[in-house]
Amino acid sequence: MPTNLPTEYYNAEKRYKEADTPTEKVRCLEELISAIPKHKGTDHLRADLRRKLSKMKEAAQTKKKTGKQESPYQIDWEGAGRVVLLGMANVGKSSVLTTLTNATPKVDAAPFTTWGPTPGMMPIENIQVQLIDTPPLSRDHIEPEMKDLIRNADLVMILLDLQAFPIQQLEDSLAILKGHRIEICCRDNEETETGRPPIVPMIIVSKHDDASQDEDFEVFCELFADEWSFLSISTETGRNIDQFKQKIFDTLEIIRIYSKPPGKEPNMDAPFVMKKGGTVEDFARKIHKELADSLKTARVWGSGQFDGQQVSRDYVLHDEDVVELVV
């Protein structure tokens, strides 16, 4: 075992040992491998971990295929990002899903009506984002697969009910997640106990139906103003729903790129979605790996200095750019 491994390696190793499911172990192994500095002294270690990784990937796959009953947590990734809705019972999680997506989970004033996760697709302008409704947070138990779902989400959302002691709910929700070793922090540069990268949730205050509740919301915000920022919504009256969608779009840090075949009009209805900071080369690779290899140059409409500007493969694209790849 080489001795000069960085701290990230040992942190990742700790997470690997604690991982609850094959899927989570795969993720940790990948982190572990990428934390090893590349030189001769680490060749063996890397080869060893790669072997482990490929075995673990198989295990994760087989588990998916042979599980007697397919787990409700095996949800296909769809759309431009995955948002997991968390919160205590009755805070309006299922209402968000029914109002904003095509899904139909049970909405009920009786607590604990949602037992498994339910996905739905929410349109935001011309893209779709996957929302996943989940069972209420419970101090006693959390499914290992639920932990995976939370840790792997693109965005974790905690809902609080403005009409039912939101201060207490925020404190309880955070304490429960911490208790289950899910590292929720209000900033992404915060250190966590396990060394895992922190999850920075979006906190949404629900059931802010009309102006008569403005004061309650303001008081609540003031209490936590140093740490968190909040958006309040109402699925009942539609209040702030557009802002809610916009906030999700912004937090996902994605851009939409339209592909323009040479000599043709771009298809503006079906953008490719990429991470912010993506380049022309990343875009080409998204379409086809070989296209990225044979790419010579590209033309850009939108963020360029002028329409149809010729740019190189490392040009950084912006939201709603139209790109013509030249091979």
Ligand X SMILES: Nc1nc2c(ncn2[C@@H]2O[C@H](COP(=O)(O)OP(=O)(O)O)[C@@H](O)[C@H]2O)c(=O)[nH]1
Residues that bind ligand X (CB under 6 A): 87, 89-95, 107-109, 113-114, 206-207, 209, 234-236
According to the binding rule CB under 5 A, does residue 95 interact with Mg ion? no
Residue bearing tokens 């850009």: 300
According to the binding rule CB under 5 A, does residue 94 interact with Mg ion? yes
Do 227 and 185 form a contact (C-beta atoms < 8 A)?
A: no
Do 44 and 2 form a contact (C-beta atoms < 8 A)?
A: no
CB of 94 to Mg ion, least distance (A): 3
Of the candidates 284, 286, 285, the one whose C-alpha atom is nearest the C-alpha of residue 297 is 284
Q: Which is nearer to ligand X, 173 or 235 (CB)?
A: 235
According to the binding rule CB under 5 A, does residue 90 interact with Mg ion? no
Of the candidates 327, 318, 313, 307, the one whose C-alpha atom is nearest the C-alpha of residue 274 is 318
CB of 110 to ligand X, least distance (A): 8
What is the distance of C-alpha 277 from the center of its chain?
17
CB of 65 to ligand X, least distance (A): 31
What strands, in cross-sheet order, belong to the sheet with 309-311? Answer: 272-275, 254-259, 321-326, 297-301, 309-311
Longest dimension (CA), the chain: 67
Do 262 and 326 form a contact (C-beta atoms < 8 A)?
A: yes
Strand partners, 100: none
Of the candidates 198, 147, 136, 145, the one whose C-alpha atom is nearest the C-alpha of residue 169 is 136
Q: Which is nearer to Mg ion, 117 or 278 (CB)?
A: 117
Distance CA(61)–CA(24), nearest Å, equals 12
CB of 166 to Mg ion, least distance (A): 17
Phi and psi at 216, nearest 5°, equal -55, -45
Which does residue 235 bind out of Mg ion, ligand X, none, counting CB within 5 to 8 angstroms by kind?
A: ligand X
Joined tokens for residue 191: 């250190």
Q: Which is nearer to ligand X, 235 or 259 (CB)?
A: 235
Which does residue 128 bind out of Mg ion, ligand X, none, counting CB within 5 to 8 angstroms by kind?
A: none
Which does residue 172 bind out of Mg ion, ligand X, none, counting CB within 5 to 8 angstroms by kind?
A: none
Distance CA(26)–CA(59), nearest Å, equals 9
Judged by CB under 5 A, the stretch of 55-63, 85-93, 161-169, 225-233 that binds Mg ion is: 85-93
Which does residue 8 bind out of ligand X, Mg ion, none, counting CB within 5 to 8 angstroms by kind?
A: none
CB of 214 to ligand X, least distance (A): 15
CB of 235 to ligand X, least distance (A): 4
CB of 32 to ligand X, least distance (A): 36
Q: Which is nearer to Mg ion, 108 or 242 (CB)?
A: 108
Q: Which of 11, 21, 98, 114 binds Mg ion (CB under 5 A)?
A: 114
Judged by CB under 5 A, the stretch of 52-60, 89-97, 254-262, 272-280 that binds Mg ion is: 89-97
Applying CB under 5 A, the residues found at the interface with Mg ion are 93-94, 114
